[in-house]
């Protein structure tokens, strides 16, 4: 056992500690360094969270699909744990995208919701995540859950190009690539990096939790057999 | 020569088997048709031709009716195989899983087109809408939209058929995935009804075609994993 000061910290402490520091710096940048937008005022600062969680939702969907495909090829449960963790984190991020987007829409366009292609495709992504999580919950056998979850993850991943290209392919009110002050752009990039670190931390933690839960289930099954 | 025709012969026998099953159980497919007719009657009752032409909504209403009646047909297509124990027998067939997928896709496509063959003329009769003012354009929308719908439905229908709590799961999973097909088909149908030659029609049809190709390829690739139940 390492009794030194640094030895008392686990990997988990390091991940969450670095997330907390990054968030503090990012929040400082958003509220202090980023200039206030002329027409929308302070409400525009929603953008730094909205774009970050939207990117994280799409990235989670890609991770879910690739890990689902890897499970189908390799048949190792660790890939399914990654896929499930990504689905759950992706659901959370897409939910936050819809909530922050709705708040933005209310201030910018005067409505909480509009059937804009980007909004509609994001809602579809949220429904896909929800469906996958619901199906997974109804299957007890881990390998069967991994197989069905893997196929659904690949199908769900097909929605990602639609969300990304929605503003370019279809006419809508959602901005495609708005002009932005250089400082705003820098703060946005910092915020995206910070949220990416957070979802990576969440995925690691959830995957570890799923792995431990499976280990406990196996030990219980072995215990029952030995009796 | 024989080896070259083998895949086609396999496909034919698989399709033949499913079609024979459908013909022997008319009570099963008649439920999907009846649901389609009821939905069209209810939706058409909401459209009043004398109060102007709400063309924007008509395409959407028609595709909603096709979706729900079609989902019932797709759900039954695989549930029957599981309930009768045919699923295990399918594993013994000396054919690739992709071939089974194409055979099921073809039969499901025929089922959906049969539903459309009944519901669309009824819809036209009740609403007085000129859906076939451009018959080629409308046939193109119907064929590509139904192909995309059938590809997703075949894959997800097979996936959910073996689940313990499958009731109501297929439409729940299918609707978000197939929504781009329904929205594109509804929009293309609206343009055909409006008859203003909107150049965006081609764009919507391309999207329908891309969707059908993507999900047919994805379905053929992953059907091997779906078949493991």
Give the model's confidence band at B51: pLDDT under 50 very low, under 70 low, under 90 confident, else very high.
Answer: low
Q: Min CA distance, A174 vs chain B (Å)?
A: 18
Q: A164 — contact with chain B (CB < 8 Å)?
A: no
Q: Do B58 and B127 contact (CB within 8 A), yes or no?
A: yes
Average pLDDT over residues B202-221: 93
Closest-CA residue of B relative to A75 is B225
CB atoms B179 and A151 under 8 Å: no
A interface mutation test: which of B171, B180, B229 has the most A CBs within 10 A? B180
Q: Min CA distance, B2 vs chain A (Å)?
A: 33
pLDDT digits (tens, 9 = 90+) for B91-142: 788 888 999 999 999 999 999 999 999 999 999 898 887 788 888 999 999 9
Does residue B31 surpass a pLDDT of 80? yes
CB neighbourhood size of B120 (10 A): 19
Closest-CA residue of A relative to B200 is A170
| Residue A80: per-residue pLDDT | 97
Q: Do B137 and B201 contact (CB within 8 A), yes or no?
A: yes
pLDDT digits (tens, 9 = 90+) for A118-135: 898 999 999 999 999 999
Does residue B83 surpass a pLDDT of 80? no
Give the model's confidence band at B34: pLDDT under 50 very low, under 70 low, under 90 confident, else very high.
Answer: very high
pLDDT digits (tens, 9 = 90+) for A9-41: 677 777 788 888 888 888 888 888 888 877 778
Does residue B3 surpass a pLDDT of 60? no
Average pLDDT over residues B57-76: 89
Q: Min CA distance, A120 vs chain B (Å)?
A: 10
Check: pTM over 0.90? Answer yes or no: no
More confident residue, A189 or A23: A189
Which of B17-31, B48-62, B201-215 shows the highest mean pLDDT?
B201-215
- A window 102-141, beta carbon within 8 A of B: 120-121, 124-125, 127-128, 131, 134-135, 138-139
Give the model's confidence band at B198: pLDDT under 50 very low, under 70 low, under 90 confident, else very high.
Answer: confident
ipTM over cut 0.95: no
Does residue B145 surpass a pLDDT of 50? yes
Q: Do A174 and A161 contact (CB within 8 A), yes or no?
A: no
Closest-CA residue of A relative to B180 is A121
| Residue B193: per-residue pLDDT | 85
Q: Give percent of chain A above pLDDT 70.
A: 96
Q: B217 — contact with chain A (CB < 8 Å)?
A: no
Q: Give percent of chain B above pLDDT 70.
A: 94
When mean pLDDT is compared across B70-84, B178-192, B198-212, the lowest value belongs to: B70-84
Does residue A68 surpass a pLDDT of 90? yes
More confident residue, B116 or B81: B116
Give the model's confidence band at A175: pLDDT under 50 very low, under 70 low, under 90 confident, else very high.
Answer: confident
Which of B45-49, B160-164, B169-173 shows the highest mean pLDDT?
B169-173
Give the model's confidence band at A8: pLDDT under 50 very low, under 70 low, under 90 confident, else very high.
Answer: low
Q: Which residues of B touch A128 (CB under 8 A)?
A: 176-177
Q: What is the pLDDT of chain B when averaged over all its residues?
A: 86
Q: Which residues of A touch B207 (CB under 8 A)?
A: 169
pLDDT digits (tens, 9 = 90+) for A69-90: 999 999 999 999 999 999 999 9
Does residue B229 surpass a pLDDT of 90? no
CB atoms A131 and B218 under 8 Å: no
| Residue B4: per-residue pLDDT | 55
H, E, C per residue of chain B: CHHHHHHHHHHHHHHHHHHHHHHHCHHHHHHHHHHHHHHHHHHHHCCCHHHCCCHHHHHHHHHHHHHHHHHHHHHHHHHHHHHCCHHHHHHHCCCCHHHHHHHHHHHHHHHHHHHHHHHHHHHHHHHCCCCCCCHHHHHHHHHHHHHHHHHHHHHHHHHHHCCCCCCCHHHHHHHHHHHHHHHHHHHHHHHHHHCCCCCHHHHHHHHHHHHHHHHHHHHHHHHHHHCCC
Does residue B1 surpass a pLDDT of 50? no
Does residue A2 surpass a pLDDT of 60? no
């Amino acid at each position: 056992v390492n009794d030194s000061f640094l030895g008392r910290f686990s990997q988990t402490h390091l991940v969450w500690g670095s997330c907390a520091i990054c968030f503090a710096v990012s929040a400082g940048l958003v509220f202090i360094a980023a200039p206030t937008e002329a027409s929308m005022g302070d409400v525009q600062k929603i953008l730094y969270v909205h774009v970050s969680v939207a990117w994280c939702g799409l990235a989670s969907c890609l991770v879910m699909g690739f890990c689902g495909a890897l499970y189908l090829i390799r048949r190792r449960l660790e890939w399914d744990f990654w896929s499930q963790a990504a689905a759950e984190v992706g659901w959370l991020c897409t939910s936050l995208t819809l909530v922050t987007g709705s708040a933005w829409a209310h201030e910018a366009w005067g409505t909480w919701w509009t059937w804009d292609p980007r909004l509609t495709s994001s809602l579809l992504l949220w429904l896909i995540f929800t469906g996958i999580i619901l199906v997974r919950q109804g299957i007890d056998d881990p390998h069967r859950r991994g197989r069905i979850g893997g196929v659904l993850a690949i199908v769900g991943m097909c929605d990602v190009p639609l969300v990304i290209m929605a503003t370019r392919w279809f006419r809508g009110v959602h901005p495609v690539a708005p002009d932005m002050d250089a400082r705003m752009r820098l703060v946005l990039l910092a915020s995206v990096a910070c949220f990416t670190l957070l979802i990576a931390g969440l995925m690691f933690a959830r995957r570890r939790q799923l792995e431990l839960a499976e280990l406990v289930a196996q030990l219980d099954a072995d215990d029952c057999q030995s009796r | 020569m024989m080896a070259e025709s083998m895949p086609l012969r396999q496909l034919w026998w698989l399709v033949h088997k499913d079609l024979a099953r459908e013909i022997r159980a008319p009570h099963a497919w008649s439920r999907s048709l009846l649901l389609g007719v009821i939905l069209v009657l209810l939706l058409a009752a909401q459209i009043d031709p004398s109060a102007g032409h709400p063309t924007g909504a008509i395409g959407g209403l028609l595709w909603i009716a096709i979706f729900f009646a079609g989902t019932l047909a797709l759900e039954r297509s695989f549930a029957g195989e599981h309930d009768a124990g045919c699923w295990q027998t399918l594993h013994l067939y000396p054919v690739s899983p992709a071939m089974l997928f194409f055979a099921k896709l073809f039969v499901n496509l025929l089922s959906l087109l049969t539903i459309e063959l009944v519901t669309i003329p009824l819809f036209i009769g009740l609403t007085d809408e000129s859906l076939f003012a451009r018959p080629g354009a409308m046939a193109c929308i119907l064929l590509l939209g139904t192909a995309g719908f059938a590809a997703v439905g075949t894959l997800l229908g097979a996936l959910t058929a073996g689940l313990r709590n499958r009731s109501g799961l297929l439409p729940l999973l299918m609707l978000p995935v197939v929504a781009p097909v329904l929205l594109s088909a509804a929009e293309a149908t609206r343009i055909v009804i409006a008859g203003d030659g909107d150049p965006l029609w081609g764009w919507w049809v391309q999207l329908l075609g891309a969707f059908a190709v993507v999900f047919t390829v994805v379905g053929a690739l992953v059907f091997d994993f779906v078949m493991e139940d």
